Amino acid sequence: MRGIINPLHVSRFLQEYDAAAAQKGIKISIGFDFHEYVSITRATPTKGPTYPNFRPDRSPIKSGEGYWMIGADMNNQVALVEAARLYDLSDSNFAEHLQSLKAFYADAALYAHPQDRCTCISPSAKMMTGKVAYHGDRWIRRDFRGQGVSKIMAGIARGVSLAMWDPDFVCALVSRQRLEKGSLYGYAHYESGGSILQLIEENIVDDDWLIWLTGEELRSLVDRHDISELVFA
């Protein structure tokens, strides 16, 4: 049986990452209105389209089941974004959720193009059930890349996801190119075939790897309170 999440551990964990962001000249804000999030991302130069997972016109997110982060620079200009949502897969698994397109559309029959496809051949994705926290839509402005900002974002997202949901798994889908650059951001596991995706009307074609932590690993990461594993490793 899981113990109660220690709020002081989570608070200290988040405070250190927030302080690390401030040292980079970034002020982090957390929001819950995804209409607002999409309006911000659409107005952000060089940010690609937000996937339908995080667009309320295609996949509404219930209150308490999603959040987003915005990082503003010293001039109050958007420097980074990321979003997260909780999937209740108590009667399913992450692989099925992707392949059915339910991960992308609240009603695939209504919103999906007839040629939309998602194939997930990751064996571990089939084992991911229960409360699955999915992190995605990460974007960092070019002048802030290569400075450890991605790791800071990953730390904040993990702390918030643990505090809000205490998930059974936390995961993301990333390109092979990002993995080859060492962009694991502290995730303990990775596997190919996470999402071979085609969304016609969204102009999306991906072949992404699955990266993830178990809920126990997430708790341990926060309890150890070792920011250096993500920021300086």
Instruction: Locate the domains of the chain by residue range.
Output: 7-231
- 187: pLDDT confidence band, cut at 50, 70 and 90? confident
State yes or no: pLDDT of 180 exceeds 90.
Answer: no
Q: Please give the CATH architecture assigned to the domain spanning 7-231.
A: 3-Layer(aba) Sandwich (3.40)
Q: What percentage of residues in the chain have a pLDDT greater than 70?
A: 94
CA–CA separation, 207 vs 193, rounded Å?
7
CA–CA separation, 98 vs 195, rounded Å?
7
For residue 78, give every residue at least 6 positions away whose Cβ sits within 8 Å of its Cβ, in sequence order, or none.
Answer: 40, 44, 47, 70, 71, 72, 141
Q: What percentage of residues in the chain have a pLDDT greater than 90?
A: 82
- Contact, 85 vs 107, CB < 8 A? no
pLDDT at 178: 82
pLDDT at 173: 96
pLDDT digits (tens, 9 = 90+) for 93-130: 999 999 999 999 999 999 999 999 999 999 999 999 99
For residue 226, give every residue at least 6 positions away whose Cβ sits within 8 Å of its Cβ, in sequence order, or none.
Answer: none
Alpha-carbon torsion, ordered 139, 142, 144, 146, to 10 deg: 90
CA–CA separation, 13 vs 223, rounded Å?
8
CA–CA separation, 199 vs 143, rounded Å?
30
CA–CA separation, 154 vs 203, rounded Å?
27
CA–CA separation, 226 vs 155, rounded Å?
10
pLDDT at 81: 97
pLDDT digits (tens, 9 = 90+) for 6-37: 888 899 999 999 999 999 999 999 999 999 99
Q: How long a stretch of residues is the chain?
A: 233
pLDDT at 8: 87
pTM for the structure as a whole: 0.93
